[in-house]
Amino acid sequence: MKRKEFIKLSSMAGASCLLSSNNLLLQDPTATAQNSIEWICQGDPNYDILRKGFNNSIDLFPQVIVVCKTTEDVAVAIKYANIHKLPVAIKSGGHSMEGFSCNQGGLVVNLSKMNSVEFLPNDKIKVGPGCELSSLYEKTLARKRIIPAGSCASVGMGGLTTGGGYGLFSRKYGLTCDSLVEATMVDGQGEIHNTLVNPELLWAIRGGGSGNFGVITEMVFRSYPAPNTMRSYHFESNKLDAQKASSLLEKWFAFSEKLTESCYSGYVLNGRSLNILVTNFGNHTPELQKELDAMALHFDEFTMVRPINLADKVKRYYGSKIPMNFKNSSAGLFNQYAELASCITDVLDKVINTRGMIYQVNTLGGKIADPDFEKTSCYPHRGYNFIGELQTYWDSPKQAPVLKTASEEILALLYKNGIKAQYFNYCSSAFEKWESAYYGKNYKRLQKIKNLYDPNNTIRHPQSIRNGFL
Ligand SMILES: Cc1cc2nc3c(=O)[nH]c(=O)nc-3n(C[C@H](O)[C@H](O)[C@H](O)COP(=O)(O)OP(=O)(O)OC[C@H]3O[C@@H](n4cnc5c(N)ncnc54)[C@H](O)[C@@H]3O)c2cc1C
């Protein structure tokens, strides 16, 4: 870096703070902003709000948070981080389960203001990484278009897409990353790239781009005609023991395998209560009714909810917008009940006997398994039809160690019984061999891309792809 450029970049931090020669951040209220960047340091009234993510139990203190409005702003921030040798974390919606969108003592690129949704010709939609799902659904459904995405209102499109992204529409249209057709990225040295001239980068971003090679600043998606309505069906049983909950899980696997691609289903065991949700934006056929009736025989209650307008229905699954104390993670990907049979009763017994713990299994499959998507993205788990999820929530910090230990014991039990594939978007620091768990055989190819775009490992978090010397 030339001396002139160094001085220019150092002075750009002047909007609210400066890095001094002894590496401390100093307030400099007299300095004037030279671009649309906001530099936020400790002492700024917004610092505490911006450093926190959705997981309230994670407390990290970066040296500087850089709120960017354009791709060029991001390039300035990354060059600044290089000059001052600061590690970079990237925050879009802030929902990383392990807090990977913040760091201790480094620089955080905050993309919350890069949240636009722009309709392009040929039904393509340009989306900023900071766009939250509630805003995405509101704007696209108003135009009767849909990009398949997740359920939670405040999840950001930046993290969701770069890690995969599944939800109620995935079995029909694929993962969120499968609809991504173009992306702009600022690499670890502050250089700007577009995937139209680099298909290998697009392959990597689709499922392997979360805080690894650069900051994704713009994404263009193909969109699909939105269904008008969605309906749902609910089964419930209470006072279950682990044996009964396992037997109902086995029945649910057999039931789910027959669902059409317009349906999603989830098995949710919370304490001794089991809820099964089925959503459907396709036809309610006699075949489906027959399967529902057969399933209902095994449950205490069965409810059918009439179809309602899709824009209203997606809101029912938005969840909390308020940050919570939790430790959630993926609990393996698999294809059939038989793969879990050797340990599932022990797993469910621990869930039932650990207050605050939830075990969930969701349907995948359908279009997610499309061989064309397999070729054009690094997401490695397309062959799996189901994903497990462990959730633990607490009010008082005193409860946390018990819940975390129970969660780790369950993950270890699953691993011992051969359940090893995991979903990066439900990351956990407790996963063994996370490189192969998240990326399978694609990890080495991703390391080459890391070398190309971030040779100095400027962009990093505890489970980011390591530079490979291959
Ligand atoms: C309550 C809740 C509900 C969820 N529901 C779903 C669901 O329905 N479906 C689903 O698939 N997942 C779901 N998730 C998981 C979610 O997809 C991931 O946590 C995702 O990473 C969140 O993205 P974010 O932008 O909000 O998070 P952030 O914390 O901002 O980022 C998460 C990760 O992505 C990286 N990243 C973020 N933005 C960029 C960018 N622009 N460029 C490069 N890297 C970036 C960060 O480095 C970090 O590692 C849920 C999570 C929570 C907490």
Contacts of 215 (CB under 8 A, 6+ apart): 74, 78, 88, 90, 109, 111, 129, 185, 186, 459
Token representation of residue 140: 């696209």
pLDDT at residue 321 in the model: 85
Q: What is the DSSP letter of 299?
A: S
CB contact at 8 A, 118 and 126: yes
- Burial of 338 from C-beta contacts in 10 A (0-12 / 13-18 / 19+): exposed
User: Comparing C-alpha atoms, which of 456, 442, 369 is closest to residue 173?
Assistant: 369
φ/ψ of 89, rounded to 5, equals -110, 155
d(CA 173, CA 179): 8
Q: What one-letter code names the amino acid at 74?
A: V
Quickly tell me which residue has 């713009």 as its tokens. Answer: 218
Atom of ligand 1 nearest to the CA of 320: 1
- Ligand 1 centre distance from Cα of residue 39 (Å): 23
SS3 content of the chain, % helix, strand, coil (to 5): 35, 25, 40
The answer to whether the beta carbons of residues 351 and 357 sit under 8 Å apart is: yes
Predicted local distance difference test score (pLDDT) of residue 408: 97
Total-model pTM:
0.94
- Cα–Cα distances (Å) from 192 to 184, 345, 448, in that order, read 7, 51, 18
Q: What is residue 468's predicted lDDT score, i.e. its pLDDT?
A: 82
Beta carbon of 106 within 6 Å of any ligand 1 atom:
no
Q: What's residue 29's pLDDT?
A: 32
Lookup: tokens for 347: 């797993």
Atom index in ligand 1 nearest the CA of residue 99 equals: 29
Residue found under tokens 């978090």: 461
pLDDT for 36 equals 86
Neighbours of 405 (CB within 10 A): 11
Q: pLDDT in tens for each of the 470 residues of the chain?
A: 444 444 455 444 444 454 443 343 433 333 444 568 999 999 999 999 999 999 999 999 999 999 999 999 999 999 999 999 999 999 999 999 999 999 999 999 999 999 999 999 999 999 999 999 999 999 999 999 999 999 999 999 999 999 999 999 999 999 999 999 999 999 999 999 999 999 999 999 999 999 999 999 999 999 999 999 999 999 999 999 999 999 999 999 999 999 999 999 999 999 999 999 999 999 999 999 999 999 999 999 999 999 999 999 999 999 988 999 999 999 999 999 999 999 999 999 999 999 999 999 999 999 999 999 999 999 999 999 999 999 999 999 999 999 999 999 999 999 999 999 999 999 999 999 999 999 999 999 999 999 999 999 999 999 999 998 75
> Which mutation among 69, 71, 78, 92 tests ligand 1's pocket best, with the greatest number of atoms within 8 A of CB?
92
Asked if residue 438 has its Cβ within 6 Å of ligand 1, the reply is no
Structure tokens at 179: 């609809």
Ligand 1 pocket residue status of 210, Cβ below 6 Å: yes
Query: Which ligand 1 atom is at minimum distance from the Cα of 53?
Result: 29
240 near 345, Cβ under 8 Å?
no
Q: Whose CA is nearest to atom 21 of ligand 1?
A: 159
The residue type of 140 is T
Tell me the best of 160, 381, 446 to mutate to test the pocket of ligand 1, counting ligand atoms within 8 Å of each CB and taking the most.
160
Which amino acid is present at 159? G
**Alpha-carbon gap, residue 337 to 335, rounded angstroms:** 7
Ligand 1 geometric centre to CA of 410 (Å): 23
Confidence (pLDDT) at 390: 98
3-state secondary structure 83-116: HCCCCEEEECCCCCCCCCCCCCCCEEEECCCCCC
Cα 435 to ligand 1 centre (Å): 18
d(CA 359, CA 403): 13
Amino acid in position 38: E
pLDDT of residue 232: 98
